[in-house]
Every structure is written in C-alpha cells, then in structure tokens.
Amino acid sequence: MATSEQITQLRDLGAATVYEAQGAKGALDHGMKPIDPTMRLAGPAFTVDCRPADNLMLHYAVQKAKPGDVLVVDAKGFMEAGPWGDVLTIQAQKIGVAGLVINGCVRDANLIIELGFPVFCRGLSIKGTGKNQPGKINVPITIGDVLIHPGDIIVGDRDGLAVVPKDEVESAIASSLAREEKEAGQRRAIEEGAMTADLLNLTDTLKRFGLV
C-alpha cells in the first residue's frame, strides 16, 4: 500500500511526468478532463462499476470508501445524465474522499468547484438519474484502454490522468524523479545555448531527411 508521503510525491510530480516515467503507460484518454484545471489529485482507487444514468452505487460507494480514496467510476461513458452533483460531493468530503474520476458526466459544476473537490469527467449534464440498478465496488474496471484495479494510485491534474499500478509505486516515483532531474538539466543547457535537437540526439535523424 502506498504511503501518504508517496501519494504526495506522485501528486507533486504530476500526471505527465509519471506517465512518461513509467514507460508511457497508464494514461487515461484525453476526454477525461478536470472541471477545475487548477485542482490536483492523487490517491488509491476505490473502483465503482455502475449502470448508465443510475447513481445508486455512488451513494453506496461513499458509505464504504475510506479517507484519501479516489472514487473511480465506470459509468459506461454515458453523456446524457449527471449521476454526481453537489450533494454527493459534500457527503464525499465529509468522509475525506480525495476526489472523483468518472467515465461519464457530473452536474452542479460551479458548486463542486467552490467546494474545492477534484473531479475528472467526460462532461457535464443537467439530466437526472435513477437509483435502482445494482453494480459492484472494488472490482477491476476499464476506462478507455486502461485497466484500473482497486488500490492503484490515480494521479491527476490539468494535463490529464495517469494510473500507477499499486505494486509499482516505488519504481514509478524513482523513475519520475530521475526524469525530473534529467529535464532540469536540459532546461539549464538550453539557457546556456544548447539546442533541443542536440540534447535529444536528433541531429542525425534531421540530416537523414535533409533537414540541415
């Protein structure tokens, strides 16, 4: 299980760095966006598999989630309902949930932003939902082409979302820190007059295409 210090490290490193550092894997598709791009998110996934246009399982999930969890919900990408809003946000914050990632829509966006609760979703929909259909919690789910297991670490910011397998947290942090150090060196070199083509060993490739 990731420690709170490791989760903070991943949040501060950011989604793009973590994604690249772990071998360009684990990025959710670009359709998953934060409703407030200033918010950052990191925490273990509490997964929810629910039916489109029904939020019964979300009310159940906030009873079972633990402080620090990120609710990661597969609502099947349905865009014509908003199964999450301000009331569930207040409930989630009351128990210490770190944020929401939902393969679907939310509503009450302004209120959610005012409450300071990180939400990543496919869009907004004012349409309501039923509360009738069972689903599952803490099971593997898939969003886009990314498989997410309960306990995997979710890292999100305005660049997007990255998933770190729960048994690869330590190596992901080490690789991310190494990448950060390398890029810091590149920035210093650029300030001193170096060109990105040289730093990335692209000169021969450019010459091969006659781009000299």
- pLDDT (tens place) for every residue of the chain, 212 residues total: 899 999 999 999 999 999 999 999 999 999 999 999 999 999 999 999 999 999 999 999 999 999 999 999 999 999 999 999 999 999 999 999 999 999 999 999 999 999 999 999 999 999 999 999 999 999 999 999 999 999 999 999 999 999 999 999 999 999 999 999 999 999 999 999 999 999 999 999 999 999 97
CA distance 45 to 52: 20
Rounded Cα–Cα distance for residues 177 and 210 (Å):
36
DSSP characters over 33-56: EESSTT--EEEEEEEEE--TTB-H
- The domains of the chain, with CATH numbers, are 4-166 (3.50.30.40), 173-208 (no CATH)
8 Å CB contact between 32 and 161: yes
